[in-house]
Amino acid sequence: MGISRRNFFKILSVAGAATATARTPARAWESQAPSEAYGCIVDLTRCIGCRKCEQACNEVNKLPPPDRSFEDLTVLDRKRRPDEKTFTVVNRYYSGRIDERDQLIPTFVKLQCMHCQDPACASACIVGALSKQENGAVNYDVSKCIGCRYCMVACPFEIPAYEYHDPITPRVMKCTFCYERVANEGKLPGCAEICPVEAITFGRRDTLLKVARDRIKENPGRYVDHIYGEHEAGGTSWMYLSAQPFEKLGFVTLPDHPMPRLAETIQHSLYSYLWSPIVLFGMLSGIMWAFRGKGERQEDHEGGNL
């Protein structure tokens, strides 16, 4: 074989040196969470499962009318997920608690987009159609979306839904945090405004965390000592208080670090200033140059060769 080992190692060491110098020290991954994010606390010990929030959400977001009326509580007999026509749903759980008359006590859980502090969906989106806003909302810009659905793959809460039956202009559908109402009209999110028992408290996320901690402290025995969303997936703008462990109420157990951290760290350490492709290109050119004309066939010395 026409490989000159000395040449080969020379090239490798040159390339290695280039790698060492070209490589900017990869900065540690940093959270992009806005400091003044708003959010909501959903207090599951207060929720009475009236589905008023579902109705309000449907109205303020001008969603299509539901198959069954919002007054119909038998809907709760089945567990539902938010979908392309419903940004929020309430589910009923029996966790085994009973009241003084031996009746099972239901717990109602309202689901919607969690508006993560470092949202996986926004990190994943190929065009940046999803983005975390200063006020905490994770906003969807349909004019950029190409419909790749990577956001749906990425979301740890399995929230974004898709208009699969629209052939040409389907949209990703999820809770908007009533962005327009909150940011431009100074109103509360539709669901938080209507809730008759104040199960949904809207406010700045840091304030909400204090409120939640106070509630846990001031009502011993009422809550489990866990604010769901404080740390899950690096923290979310929507958070929950509960009397039962969250695993029993359909909440997914998640790591505390933000979902995008690993992938973004790898991406940025490899591709900042495109250093690695450039180094690789240089290495390969070197190898090609070193091995030029060293082929094993005679006729490749003819002109026009590389």
Partner 1 sequence: MSHHHAAPTHSKFWTPGVVALAFVAAVGLVAIIARYIGGIGYVSNLSTARPWGLWIGVDVASGVALAAGGFTTAFLAHILGKHYYEPVVRPALLTAMLGYTFVVLGLLVDIGRSWAIWKPMIYWNFNSVLFEVAMCVMFYLNVLYIEFLPMVIERFKGRVRLPGAPDALNRAIDSLLALADKVLSKIMWVFIIAGVVLSCMHQSSLGALMLIAPTKLHPLWYTPILPLLFLTSAIAVGYPMVVFEATLATTSLKLDSEMKILTPLTRFTVFLLGIYLALKVGDMVIRKTYVYLLDGTSQTNAFLIEMVIGVLAPWLMLLSPKVRQSRRWLFIACTMVVGGVLLNRVNVFVVGYRPPVSETNYFPSIGEVAITAGLIAGLMLIYRFLVTHLPVLNKPEKEVIA
User: Which chain residues interact with ligand SF4 by CB under 6 A?
Assistant: 56-57, 60-61, 87-88, 112-116, 119-121, 124-127, 129-130, 138, 145-151, 155, 157, 159-160, 172, 174-178, 189-191
For partner 1, the binding residue among 59, 72, 134, 158 (CB under 8 A) is 158
Query: What's the token pair of residue 247?
Result: 């695993």
Q: Could you tell me which of 42, 188, 35 has the C-alpha nearest to residue 109?
A: 42
**Least separation, in Å, of the C-beta of 296 and ligand SF4?**
48
Question: How many residues sit close enough to partner 1 to count as binding (CB under 8 A)?
Answer: 72
What is d(CA 29, CA 206) in angstroms, rounded to the nearest whole number? 22
Cβ-based nearer residue to partner 1, 152 or 216:
152
88 binds, among partner 1, ligand SF4, none (CB under 5 to 8 A by kind): ligand SF4
Query: What's the token pair of residue 54?
Result: 């579902």
175 binds, among ligand SF4, partner 1, none (CB under 5 to 8 A by kind): ligand SF4
297 binds, among partner 1, ligand SF4, none (CB under 5 to 8 A by kind): partner 1
- CA quadruple 146, 150, 155, 159: dihedral, nearest 10: 50
Question: What is the separation, in whole angstroms, between the first and last Cα of the chain?
Answer: 19
**Least separation, in Å, of the C-beta of 170 and ligand SF4?**
9
Angular region, 49: left φ>0, alpha ψ -120 to 50, beta rest: left
Site string for partner 1, 95-134 (x = CB under 8 A): -------------------------x-xxxxxxxx-----
State whether residue 230 is helix, strand or coil. coil
Structural contact between residues 53 and 194, judged by C-beta atoms closer than 8 angstroms: yes
From 10-18, 63-71, 213-221, 286-294, give the range in contact with partner 1 by CB under 8 A.
Answer: 286-294
Amino acid found at 76: L
Is the sign of the CA dihedral 79, 156, 136, 250 positive or negative? positive
231 binds partner 1 (CB under 8 A): no
